[in-house]
Structure 1
């Protein structure tokens, strides 16, 4: 897992992001809803300007970050705008990166769930074939090997349950388990880990989109202050 190169300017004033989905800005705004507004789209937490796999992760990170720490996510919002149509395999890549972040800190139950999903995504337990990059699948396999107890449990569980749907990715479930696992981990600051995960996936998406050397726009209060309150 590489460190994110997404620029991280911290404006003097940050939006007060809220948990969950909101009918309109008067009821609050989550990460992706504010992205839809900044992109000039109708108000939604699933805008066309961002790949749904990335948006799914962003919504989860937003919701599992504490109220006090959620404004720190805001500078990343402009970075997700325009990251769409990222090609086959990206959904699984998001899931594998999330799992690699979560495995070292998640509870045993979460580790086991992640192991099952990773084993399937990596093609080690059934006929599913991911289109994630070889580099990433090798890195994920190495992290899974480092958590041998969880891997052994996952292999035994998969042997008992049999093969899953050949053409259906487990990515969304893996991401949900990973984010929850990080948020509930017994570590000093889960919010920092969640933000780091989101920043790394944004950087991966920017590389796929050919924007690795292009700095995203900064978060200008004049763009959002009319619809979202400022964090105190």
Structure 2
């Protein structure tokens, strides 16, 4: 679980995170840029220390979280360092979790895309995990049941369709993550910032399980590590 090092209540100050890309720390830092610094890599929002789709999710959540809530993402940063794999299941499952989370709260104009994404990801897992064709995990059934008409349309839309794994990972999964995070940010629901943070935290926790990582493997966010390059803001 990520929770050991992610609660903000144990911090007096947190690094001020900014939206978008920054040329250097003097211009500010986003979630993944600070991850690159803590990992000892060159300053980048696309560091090698984190799986590309997980990093994309982190950037999207960072950018669509409000300015006031964004620093509360910072305790999660050390937990993404070292999470890498070439296994396409990681991409599919990261996208699937994002779509499941977003579908029940996203605006109607995004729900069709998200429902298709859930079905598409499940079909890809049928291939990757050698499951019976048409398998739907309980979490997918629950999400689709929140928008039954859209789900029925998506099933018909997906009937007979097929995409190669490499193309699905390259083209579809980033689009799914982007649409899901955007959908949550546009939701007519309370605590959008909390929903975005929860999506990121739970995805990180799941990826850490796949990677065989534990809390003991990850150092907590220590002010001495980031204070020289990023401005501090009160944690509460």
Q: Does the TM-score normalized on the shorter chain lie above 0.5?
A: yes
Pick closer, same or farther for the CA change 1:88–1:35 going to 2, 3 Å.
same
TM-score (norm 1): 0.87
**Counterpart for residue 223 of structure 1:** 225
Structure 2 unaligned segments of length 5 or more: list them. Answer: none
Are 2:132 and 1:142 equivalent residues in the alignment?
A: no
Deviations 1:39-90 (A, max 9, x none): 1000001111111111011000000101110000000001111111262300
Pairing 1:67-86 to 2, within 5 Å after superposition: 67-85=67-85
Deviations 1:161-219 (A, max 9, x none): x7354232121111111101111101111000010010001111111111135362111
Q: Distance in 2 between matches of 1:171 and 1:77?
A: 22
Pick closer, same or farther for the CA change 1:86–1:211 going to 2, 3 Å.
farther
**Counterpart for residue 191 of structure 1:** 193
Structure 1 unaligned segments of length 5 or more: list them. Answer: none
Pairing 1:3-22 to 2, within 5 Å after superposition: 5=3, 7-10=5-8, 11-22=11-22
Pick closer, same or farther for the CA change 1:86–1:204 going to 2, 3 Å.
farther
TM-score (norm 2): 0.86
Pairing 1:25-44 to 2, within 5 Å after superposition: 25-44=25-44
Conservation of the 8 A alpha-carbon contact between 1:6 and 1:199 = no
**Counterpart for residue 163 of structure 1:** 161
Pairing 1:174-213 to 2, within 5 Å after superposition: 174-212=176-214
Once superposed, which parts of structure 1, at least 4 consecutive aligned residues long, lie more than 6 Å away?
A: none
Pairing 1:69-148 to 2, within 5 Å after superposition: 69-85=69-85, 87-123=87-123, 131=128, 138-146=137-145, 147-148=147-148
Conservation of the 8 A alpha-carbon contact between 2:116 and 2:155 = yes
**Counterpart for residue 151 of structure 1:** 151
The Cα shift of 1:117 comes to: 1.6
Pick closer, same or farther for the CA change 1:58–1:130 going to 2, 3 Å.
farther
Q: Distance in 1 between matches of 2:111 and 2:185?
A: 13
Q: Distance in 2 between matches of 1:82 and 1:104?
A: 32
Conservation of the 8 A alpha-carbon contact between 1:75 and 1:219 = yes
Q: Distance in 2 between matches of 1:19 and 1:164?
A: 36
The Cα shift of 1:110 comes to: 1.2
How many residue pairs align between the two structures?
224
Q: Which has the larger helix fraction? A: 2
Deviations 1:121-180 (A, max 9, x none): 222xxx89553697x951343134413111122234446xx7354232121111111101
Pick closer, same or farther for the CA change 1:171–1:122 going to 2, 3 Å.
same
Please report the RMSD computed on the Cα atoms of aligned residues, expressed in angstroms. Answer: 2.4
Matched residue SS, 2:128: coil
